Structure 1
């Protein structure tokens, strides 16, 4: 990273030097009446301006790439936390369903022992219906967790594409700078 900063600083200094040298040539050519020296100085100043713009564009692209990477990391952390919370919530719901199922079965067995066989079957059916309802609730929570995970993956893919596009744009700018230089 510091090597990149050093290269950028060197490019900026080189651009400043070229700009000053170009202006000096332009002034010297104007004073001495040498039009070719004036033109050379103007070209050198234009080249320095292009280099300065390319360095600025590359710095902007780097900043965008870093911001996209930071956002990607943050989104990944948030998605992982949301996924973990959803799984924890589903686990809690499942344990509650399991506890309720056990309690309802015990109650149904006590009632069944005191009542006729028909009453016993009806109590057991009610317990099973409630258990299935709680299980459906737990499965719905699990489905919500999967949806959250898919959204996080889609966000991550989008951010990676944006980072790649920013990197490609920076590479194009560097190539334009090299081809103009």
Structure 2
């Protein structure tokens, strides 16, 4: 397993470096492999395609902030987790700005939305005290994705701490999210 993660991280680093100067659509698997001195077989052993690699980068890096074990009823832990996730996105905003622009069926934006939706669904019961129906879940997922995307795409985007505070103010106003701060 350790060797597998080393290989995946090398491929991820290669893709990130290539995306600094090359549009994602123009990056080929061969370029990713060549940059980290691996064979194409190694790539395909771990990933189906470059979209899968891009999604793995997100899942392995930011998801660790959001999925770490916390007390589901401790609002302060949820706030801290949100703040850490915003800091990560902010520090890697150039990469995610490019990732969010990728179009198509396997786009990162679609993967990110699915991730957001899953997270909202799993947390809604603790903060809204009820399950969301499909319509509400879709609307909240779209709003959250749009909120984050607009923030990251703004060339003068606010700091992650300000983004956290403003998100919490909005949630508190609309959903009484903050109960003990």
Higher helix content, 1 or 2: 1
TM-score between the two structures when normalised by the length of structure 2: 0.22
Computing the radius of gyration from Cα coordinates, the structure with the larger value is: 1
**Relative contact order, higher structure (CA 8 A, sep 6+):** 1
